[in-house]
Structures are given as C-alpha cells and as structure tokens.
Structure 1
C-alpha cells in the first residue's frame, strides 16, 4: 500500500474475465476487506487457480469477509483461507450463512471423494493428492459467521460501515453498500431479474462513488416471450408424448425450488400429466428446508412453500438413484438432479443412461459457463465425455432462459440507471470477455459513466 493515506485500492482476485472465483479485495492504509470468497469452476485452467500456493494477500491480515450470497463461486474458497490463517468474521445474511453451510459441506465431501478416487488410480509411491479442504475446515469456517438482516447498517470501525440490500438472485442474496473513509462503494454481487419468480427484485440505490457490478449476461437478453410456466409445460408434454424421460440438471439453490413449484402448479391445473418428480440432490433437499425456514426472504405463500416437498420423491443415497429409472409408475419421469451445469453430481448418472436416446429430453435451466458440459450440450455437441467415457448425444437438448437467476443485459442497464448521480467509476466483473465488452459500451453510450473492465490481479488505486 502506498504512503498516501487517502488511497483506496481495489484488487480483483477472481471473477475478472470469467464468471467464477469471485474475490475482491478492498484495501486502505488501515483496512483490508474481502468481498466474496469463491471457488473457480469451469475449465481445467480456471480450476487450477484454486490451488495457487501464493495469494496476493495474507489471510490472517484481513479485517473481515463480506459475503453477497452462498453460491460456491462466491463462498467456496472460505475454508481455504481458514486453513491459511484467516480467523476474522464472515459477514452474511442469515439465509446466506445457512446456504453456505450446506454448499461447503457438499463441496468438502466431493473433494475428499475425488481425492480418494484419484489416489486409488495413482501408481504406488506417488505423492498422494489432497483435497483443497476437509469437513473440519468447513466447521471452523462456519463458526466465524456473523449474520445481519436486510438494510441494517453494520459499523466495523469509526470510518467503515456496510449494509446488505436484497439482490433478487437467490435466497438471502444481497448487494453490499459499503462506506470506507468517506468513499461509498456498491458491490452488486449477482443481481436477479427485475421480477424474479419467487423473490423480491434487486434493490435500487440512489448514489455511489464506485459501483462494482456483475456482467454475467452483459451481452444477452433472456427470452421472456414465453413464460417459464409455458416453456416448462411444452417441454414436459413433448417429452411425455415421445414416451421419454425429462432430466433437468439443476442448481440446488433457487432453481430446483422454482421448477418444483411450477411443476406442481401445472399438475394441479391439469396442464401437464401427473408424472412423478424426483429430486436427486441431497444439497437441493437441504436448501428446500432452508426456504421453509426463512419465509421473510421470499414471496411464496405458506401453501406454496409447503408444496416444495409435495409430490416429490426425495432421493437420498446413490443406491436409491440406481432404482429411479426402473421405479414403478408412469414410464416418463421428471428428474431434477445436480449439478446445474452438468459438471458433476448425480445428474451424470442420468445423462449416461438417457443422453443416447432421442425419446429423452435434457432441459438446461440456467447459465452454462464456458468449458462446462452444460455449455457443450447447449451448443449442440454431438458427443459428450462423462467420467472418461464418450456418449453420443441423441436426446433432445432444450433450454429455458427465462428461469435464469441472473439479470440480463436489459436488467443490468435498468438497475444501473436507477442511480441518481453519476458514479466516479463503474467496474465490471463476473463476466466473460464478450459480455463485459458489450456491457461497457452500452453503459458508456447510454449513461456516459466511466467504465473499467476488471482484470484479474491488477490493483486499481481510487
């Protein structure tokens, strides 16, 4: 840090040029705060960044970490910092803390399993591979959480305070309004659409000196010409008429609950056949319980909230997974399974069984990052590799953009336009190159705000 005591610096350690690994360091002459602490996901080259030996900061020197929400690409690196000496507070909303706990436990379990499997295949005498972190590190991490409500100022020091505002992305998600030594920052985190299905829309704010804003869909508009109800109705009916199964790779947080709600409503209205719904995501069932606990953070009625477990077969063990496709009842089944980008989890078993038959449908219901299996499928790949085996893709691949938890280009521009005075600068992060480039030009042309596309590991003095 330079000697200029008024200097504030931003350092983007992740989610710069990509949509994963969100970590932004804000530093002054006496404060070090990290906003979000996510894992890199997607391509192998990005995942390698999780294992870098040297970080651009000392975890033990952080004053705290402010978490915008519980998704793995925003929270999944927390136990690594704890392993490396971080003992400070992690600030979050209460639902975000609960969701993070479920997600981190699942992440640690997968890493431990992957390390065991990799070591089983390694030659004798090879140095064993270790997981990034274990369950014990997750337990230590969760002990550090301090939770706060929506729109509640939290005073960290005489000249540092922040508050959360609902962002409409997932349950408990928040944008962060942070005042540091006379500078006002707004970190958007991940913004939801203007009118999310089961949440309040993103909070708009009147002013900020610096806006750090996501750009996931900075170059795209969601297809909202067809409602998610109509789109899901058409896919279910079409698959049923073919006599096939519908498999939905789904994010455990928000998306699985939205899909179950829509399916149950459509069945109640007799708009689709009464088909069995299988939720094969241990994490998804855990998140559903959190939904039912935090009813002040979503706009579902009590009956709708209770319906999240109605007509749904919750699959626990993998032994139960093996029996789903042969279960008694209608030939066609609706299977919701993690992960949402089809990079891992139980959905891989179903894809291996179903992707080679044209009667079946794979329905993608969220952002598919470059390098993921979901992105390959959405791009029309003729084959897909699953656990070392090549499978021909004959199943119908469908996608519903209107169910996205992310704001599209129009939503992002709308949210930014609600600021009543121009910021000194807008930083765009959490977006791939084409998205950030397109959004930067649009903002400059529309509002004439100065815009910088964040570069990873570059320091920005303010």
Structure 2
C-alpha cells in the first residue's frame, strides 16, 4: 500500500444487511483483519441457504480476531464454522456473552444433528446425505478460544488498534463495541435495548465516534407504550383464561423468558391473574436462568426476584416431559413458555400443533419476528401455518406485546445516538429494508449526518 493509504479502513457487511440475521461485519486495515459478530442466518429456506455459501472474502486462518457483541445465535452461530475451517485466533466477548454463547451453540449443534438425521431419513436415496454445519466438538473448540473482558475496559489488539465493550441493554452480557483504529473510532451498536429495559441496565451512550454501525430492527416502529408490559401481559392472560384456554408464549431462552417469568410471578402475587402452572419448556432455560444468578452486576433484579426465576416454574428439559405437559393432571389452564422465539423450530412447534387450532387458546408473540419465519406469518394473520410438512389451521387468538421486545424502537435508537458529536458516516444494518429506510430519514433529519443503508457484500473504503 502507498503511504497515504496506510490509514484506510475497509468495511464489508457479510450478513445482517437488508435482513436482521446472520450478523457479520468485516473490518480490515493494511495490517489487521477483524470480524465483528459471526452469526447464523435464520428464517425461511432462502435465508438459511446463505449459511452454506462458501464465499467469505478471507480465509478464516487469516483473521486476527473476532469481537462479539452478544450471545444470540444470529450473532454467534457461525463461529464454529470458522473454527472448523481454520480460525485459531481470539474471540473477544464479555463474560456472560461467552457463557450464553456456550449454551446456545451447544443447543445449535444438537438441533442441527437432529434436523439433518430427520432430513436424511426422508431424502431420496439418489441425493447426497445432508451434513450439519458443525458438531459439538467444533463448539468445544470455539469456546476454548474465547477471551473475556469486563465492560468499559480498553483492550489492546495491536499497534494503534484497541476496543472496549459498553453495555447495550439488549440481553445479559450484551454490549456495543467502541473500536479505535489509527485514532478513528468505529462504534458498532450490536443490538440496542430499550432506554429503560425491564431487568437490565440501560444502554450506555457514547459521546464520540467517527463511524457508527447501527442496528435498525425497529427503525420504523414505536413500541406501543399505552399499556405497560405488565398491564398488557395481565390482559392477555386474563382474556385467555376467561375463555378457558391455554396461553403459549414462543420465547427466546435468553432474557425474554426470564422477563416474562418475573412479570407473571408479580401479577400472581398481587392476584391480578390467577395462580396457574407456568412451564418453561426450554433445555437452555435452566442454564440461562443460572447465569442471571451468577452475573448480578449485569441486571437490576433483586436477589429475591432472581430466585423467582425458578420458584414455582416447571422447567422441562427432556422431550418426554414435553409430551406430558398438555396431558398433565391438575388444572387445565396453564401458561407455556417455549422456544423458539420466532417459531422457526424448537419445542414450541409441538404445542402449536396441539393448540393453534382451538379458538380458546392464545399464542403470544413477544419479540421481533423476522421475514420468512412462522412467527411473522402468525403476526400477519396467516390462516394456516406449516409444521413438518403439515398444514395447521390458525384458530387461536394471536397477540403481540411489542413493548416486551429486547430491541429499542425508533425513538430509543435516536436517543442512543443523542450524545454523539458529529459523525462522518452512519451505516444502518440489522434491519428489513423499510425499517432501515425510515431510520435513515429520521437520522438525516435530526442529526444532519450522512447515513448509508449497508448493502450485503459491498466494500466501503473509509
């Protein structure tokens, strides 16, 4: 490189551009190659196909480091693929993020093994057997490469390159990343929570950044705050039970499940809803709940509230137990929290097969539903959903509580930017096209900064 190019930085979005999953942002200088997040694409077939494409612009062994904002699968789920293909460098994260990633990646390897086994049973013998993207042994190797740091601590990556984590209020351990390269600050938002998250500390706002890479999941939406999450949940529970139905909540095992359990406990204690059995059917749920008990500096629950996460909650771990939940003796009315949050797989599918055809029951959606997912089909009023090749008529009430989302809405994202001095450029990623465009217009209007919607695979020279 010519001398005047030495300070050039190139950014390339290898995922979460024009979509909300598969987050991977590649930053390179003439000396360093760094990946920020390394997630799986989730959603319909076309999204999932992107996980199999072998078109990364680097050999995994060439990467100097991977920085991870948080433990969700769409930010960590591709890490074992890179490790399998030769990445041996450090993976930097906060301590809770490492532990959450460990739980989530082991679960991912297990699901892939089950899914490929089932697909191979059904396949035409003339076609090649399917293989999982990675196995448990690759997950173990991946976890051994993690190096953890507390938030706010500057970490030197090399000559004139350092970074630090700042709490982002999205899930336990989640952080934005301030990365300083040759005196310029690149601020990667990761996923940003609401200004006043229910059980986490509020997102930390940076005062200075030259380039901002900002998520735009809810860039075109405002959470309905007419009712607090507490009141909204109370209404959904009571209207379901008035009809004599069962409430099914498809939920992510990290954060959402814990928030809902705390809210339900409090509502039952004050007798605002009936005391009924609550089932958490998520093999990951118990592990994640333990992490809340281990990392009290990352949330604002009291010790007694943290204890409520397992008190009077029936935690289902084995599939055999799942089969018994709907046929258990005792009260017919119950609340079932089961993964996955976007209804793309997991135990919730079993319950929906049994319950979605009955108008007495309610399916409550509590997080972002990406395009192409069953959750999005339910949210948009689809008359049928398809599970394991079978069509199921949707007669159950489908409700949504946006204010329970782990993502900040448009106003939260503008608030998060609010302390920054003038930025040279904002890139919007991690959002559907309409959401990103609406946020781009707002940021340009309010801050007068140049804003670009990140395009997949395009290289930006800064």
TM-score (norm 1): 0.99
Q: CA deviation at 1:156?
A: 1.2
Range with greater deviation from structure 2 (144-153 or 282-291):
282-291
Matched, 1:100 2:70: no
Within a 5 Å distance, the mapping from 1:346-361 to structure 2 comes to 346-361=347-362
SS at match of 1:155: strand
| Partner of residue 51, structure 2 | 50
Partner Cα distance (1:315, 1:297) in 2: 26
Task: Tell me which residue corresponds to 2:222.
Answer: 221
SS in 1 for 2:274: coil
Alignment partner, residue 455 of structure 1: 455
Residue equivalent to 2:302: 301
Aligned ranges for residues 273-288 of structure 1 at < 5 Å?
273-288=274-289
- Please state if 1:208 is matched with 2:209: yes
Q: Which residue of 2 aligns with 1:119?
A: 120
3-state SS, counterpart of residue 232 of structure 1: helix
- Residue 140 of structure 1 aligns to a residue in which SS? helix
User: Which stretch shifts more, 322-331 or 99-108?
Assistant: 322-331
Gapped runs of 5+ residues in structure 2? none
1:444 corresponds to: 444
Tell me the secondary structure at the aligned position of residue 60 of structure 1: helix
Deviation at 1:158, TM superposition (A): 2.3
CA distance in 2, matches of 1:87, 1:338: 32
2-structure distance, mates of 1:68, 1:405: 14
Aligned partner of residue 172 in structure 1, secondary structure:
coil
Question: How far off is 1:121 after superposition?
Answer: 1.4
2:328 corresponds to 1:320: no
The residue that corresponds to 1:433 in the other structure is: 433
What is the Cα deviation at residue 449 of structure 1? 0.6
RMSD: 1.0
Aligned to 1:240: 241
Task: Report the CA distance between 1:418 and its aligned residue.
Answer: 1.6
Residue aligning to 2:261: 260
| 2:166 partner SS | strand
Distance 2:406 2:416 in 1: 15
Output the TM-score relative to the length of structure 2: 0.99
Mapped partners of 2:285, 2:372: distance in 1: 24
- What is the correspondence of 1:124-163 to structure 2 with a 5 Å cutoff? 124-163=125-164
What is the rounded CA distance, in whole Å, between the counterparts of 2:123 and 2:392 in structure 1? 25
The 1:90–1:2 alpha-carbon spacing in structure 2 relative to 1, beyond 3 Å, is farther
| Matched positions, count | 461
CA distance in 1, matches of 2:273, 2:254: 25
CA distance in 2, matches of 1:322, 1:313: 14
Q: What is the DSSP-based 3-state SS (H/G/I as helix, E as strand, rest coil) of the residue aligned with 1:54?
A: coil
Q: What do the CA deviations read for 1:198-256 (whole angstroms, capped 9, x no partner)?
A: 00111011110000000000000000110111111111111111111000000110000
- Residue 125 of structure 1, CA deviation: 4.8
Partners of 1:16 and 1:2 lie apart in 2 by 31
Q: Structure 2 matches for 1:167-182, cutoff 5 A?
A: 167-182=168-183
Secondary structure at the aligned position of 1:282 is classed as: coil
Q: Structure 1: how far apart are the matches of 2:126 and 2:62? A: 38
Is 1:391 aligned to 2:397, yes or no?
no
> What CA deviation, in whole Å up to 9, does each residue of 1:378-400 have, x standing for no partner?
10111111111101100000000
Question: For the residues of structure 1 that align with 2:438 and 2:253, how far apart are their CA atoms?
Answer: 30
Unaligned runs of 5+ in 1: none
Distance 1:454 1:121 in 2: 39
In the alignment, the residues of structure 2 paired with residue 258 and residue 329 of structure 1 have an alpha-carbon distance, to the nearest angstrom, of 26
Find the counterpart in structure 1 of residue 339 from structure 2: 338
**How far is the alpha carbon of 1:57 from its aligned partner?**
1.2
Q: Deviations over 1:364-415 (max 9, x none)?
A: 0010011100000010111111111101100000000110000100001111
| CA apart distance, 1:2 | 8.1
